[in-house]
Amino acid sequence: MNKDDDENVEKIKKKMVEDIMSKNEENYPDGPIKVNDDDFQETIEKYPLVLVDFWADWCGPCKMMEPVLEDLAQEYQGEIVIAKMNVDNNRKVPNQFGVSSIPTMVLFKDGESVERMVGALQKEQLKQKFEENMS
């Protein structure tokens, strides 16, 4: 191989590493996604970690959580998906998980519920739960 061949091989290697590193983020949304009774199971099984926020339009504490969840979705893109389920439009899944107060946030790891949080939380509280479950 000559010098040009070596340079081309290095470029190809570099491109492959970049593709692998960015692949995670490409498959993850860059903000919260909406889920419903029909696509809930598929969503929690598709990603290793999913935080589902059970909320409603009329809920003041739910509205307080919106910017926090937006920030976390971007900060943890490629690692955690934030999903939002409106409890007024979806009854099956909230009933299945005994959601009686909102906001209720449930963290799913590999399709299984691992954490349940009720009420408006601070960003740092959610980050702590994320970090505890990211291994």
Report yes or no: 55 and 65 within 8 Å, Cβ to Cβ: yes
Q: What are phi and psi of 91, to 5 degrees?
A: -110, -35
Q: Which of the residues 51, 62, 105, 106 is marked catalytic?
A: 62
Report yes or no: 52 and 85 within 8 Å, Cβ to Cβ: yes
**Annotation says 59 is catalytic:** yes
Q: What tokens appear for 17 in the block?
A: 């590493």
Q: State how far the Cα of 45 lies from the Cα of 65, in Å rounded to an integer.
A: 24
Report yes or no: 123 and 72 within 8 Å, Cβ to Cβ: yes
**Annotation says 62 is catalytic:** yes
Q: Which of the residues 59, 82, 99, 106 is marked catalytic?
A: 59
Please give the positions annotated as active site: 59, 62
